Copies of this chain bind each other. A is one copy, B any other.
Amino acid sequence: MVFAKTQPNLKLSGERFSVVYNILGDSKEQIMDRAQEVCLEQTVELPLSLVPEGVLRDEVVGQIEDVDYSSAEGRATVKINYPVETTGTGLTQFLNVVFGNTSMQPGIQVVSLHLPDSMLATYPGPRFGTAGLREIMGVKERPLIGTALKPMGVPPEDLAEFVYQMALGGLDFIKDDHGLANQIFHPFEERVERCVEAVDRANRETGRKCMYVPNVTAPIDEIRDRALFAKQAGADGLEVSFGLTGMDAIRLLAQDDDLQLPVISHPALSGSFVTSPTNGISHRVLYGQLMRLAGADGVIFVSYGGRFAYSEEQCQGALQGCREPMGHLKPILPLPGGGMTLERLPELRSFYGRDVIFLVAGGLYSPSPDLLANAKLFAKMVVEADSAVMEQA
């Protein structure tokens, strides 16, 4: 064997993290074969016959920890663990070990991540989280009221006027639509300055705190500059589409002590990971656990029942990932959006609970031509929907 004599010249810590995969197969035997392939593919990337005995085979290669065939015929959930040393340091190589080459296998899906505390400790995680965001907005318990600033193409002064009216109407949170980048229609710097001025003016009038969060998704060597500009201009947070920039851009922004701003992730271009029922990454992992490892304080995802096709089960998964215990990593706020209407708020309140920012955009612009009145209506309906649920409880 080519590699017969080679071995790591060090002792591994023995600490391992686990990934639960959903694996399809025609038989239990085939599922186990596929699971064994994952153990190899995600580490040494060699057939077992070429992996030398000793530490490489016994420790570096992934190990099947548990198999559960009970969910349905032709599939199993398989828990595989890997030594923490395989991930080096950092999110990029962690993602690689979790799903790098296996992303190219049909019928294999990442269901959940399980990291030992020693490994979680290496990720600073969200700086603000749910409690921090609530503190900024000054809203202790009720669900939060948010929107996306649209549409692409209109002048910055008009966008700023929309911000003013919506903040005045009672919204807690306004973020750039993810399509507002640095186009000539509304150059980034002018847009941010005008919108910050508008939200500040409204906040002075209301005595409340509505956040304005610009989109800093950009070429990777410009992201930090845009974020610093936003910070200096007085913006209240930073939105980034990790599918466009790479997930590590969230970490870059979240950990930056010169910024110290909440980071809100947007799902643009991440859809192909969650759209196939049999390949990809679960909502719980993609829009929950990984966002918290990266350091997002809020995560936008598409709600069930809107103009996209995700299920209630998938959205529950995102909630779980945002809220479940993960060592020292703070819980973060889910921001469901994507075709939600005001009429659905009672139902959405029941489903998403209180720690949520309802992201309603098209549905906020539709009821009347008066944006201020629409914002007031939205704010009133969220409060009413919340009261109704609380009274029932």
Q: When chains A and B are docked, how far (Å) is the Cα of A310 from the Cα of B104? A: 9
Which residue on B lies nearest to A2, using beta carbons? B365
Among A160-216, those with CB < 8 Å from B are 162, 177-179, 181-185
**Once the chains bind, are A103 and B269 in contact (CB under 8 Å)?**
yes
- The interface stretch among A41-49, A133-141, A379-387 is A41-49
List of B residues within 8 angstroms of A60 by Cβ: 151-153, 185
- The interface stretch among A244-252, A317-325, A349-357 is A244-252
With A100-B268, A268-B100, A269-B103 known as contacts, the answer to whether A45 contacts B179 (CB < 8 A) is yes
With A151-B45, A153-B60, A272-B281 known as contacts, the answer to whether A217 contacts B92 (CB < 8 A) is yes
**Once the chains bind, are B275 and A153 in contact (CB under 8 Å)?**
no
Q: Does A243 count as interface, using CB distance less than 8 angstroms?
A: yes
**Once the chains bind, are A274 and B104 in contact (CB under 8 Å)?**
yes
Q: When chains A and B are docked, how far (Å) is the Cα of A245 from the Cα of B249? A: 9
**Once the chains bind, are A272 and B269 in contact (CB under 8 Å)?**
no
Oligomer: number of copies: 2
**Once the chains bind, are A90 and B218 in contact (CB under 8 Å)?**
yes
List of B residues within 8 angstroms of A273 by Cβ: 272
Q: Does A145 count as interface, using CB distance less than 8 angstroms?
A: no
Q: When chains A and B are docked, how far (Å) is the Cα of A55 from the Cα of B371? A: 22
Q: How many whole Å from A108's CB to the nearest CB in chain B? A: 9
Q: When chains A and B are docked, how far (Å) is the Cα of A272 from the Cα of B219? A: 23
List of B residues within 8 angstroms of A27 by Cβ: none
Q: Which of A44, A153, A221 has the most CB of B within 10 A?
A: A153
Q: Does A389 count as interface, using CB distance less than 8 angstroms?
A: no
List of B residues within 8 angstroms of A155 by Cβ: 6-9
**Once the chains bind, are A275 and B276 in contact (CB under 8 Å)?**
yes
Q: Does A308 count as interface, using CB distance less than 8 angstroms?
A: yes
Q: When chains A and B are docked, how far (Å) is the Cα of A92 from the Cα of B246? A: 10
List of B residues within 8 angstroms of A302 by Cβ: 104
Q: When chains A and B are docked, how far (Å) is the Cα of A10 from the Cα of B97? A: 48
Which residue on B lies nearest to A13, using beta carbons? B184
**Once the chains bind, are B1 and A56 in contact (CB under 8 Å)?**
no
Q: When chains A and B are docked, how far (Å) is the Cα of A105 from the Cα of B270? A: 11
Q: Does A86 count as interface, using CB distance less than 8 angstroms?
A: yes
Chain A 284-297, CB within 8 Å of chain B: the 1/0 string? 00000000000000
**Once the chains bind, are A182 and B100 in contact (CB under 8 Å)?**
no
Among A248-262, those with CB < 8 Å from B are 248-249, 251-252
Which residue on B lies nearest to A223, using beta carbons? B220
With A3-B365, A96-B181, A103-B243 known as contacts, the answer to whether A280 contacts B272 (CB < 8 A) is yes
Known contacts A96-B217, A104-B270, A220-B245; 18 additional CB pairs below 8 A are: A1-B369, A43-B179, A44-B179, A50-B365, A56-B151, A56-B154, A85-B183, A89-B182, A93-B217, A96-B244, A100-B241, A101-B178, A104-B267, A220-B248, A246-B246, A272-B276, A275-B279, A276-B279
Jot down 26 A-B pairs with beta carbons below 8 A, ordered by A.
A2-B162, A6-B155, A6-B158, A7-B153, A8-B185, A10-B184, A42-B179, A43-B152, A45-B151, A47-B366, A56-B154, A85-B185, A93-B181, A95-B269, A100-B241, A100-B243, A103-B268, A103-B272, A104-B308, A105-B309, A220-B245, A220-B246, A246-B247, A272-B272, A272-B276, A272-B281
Closest 7 CB pairs of A and B: A246-B246, A103-B271, A104-B271, A100-B268, A44-B151, A60-B153, A93-B181
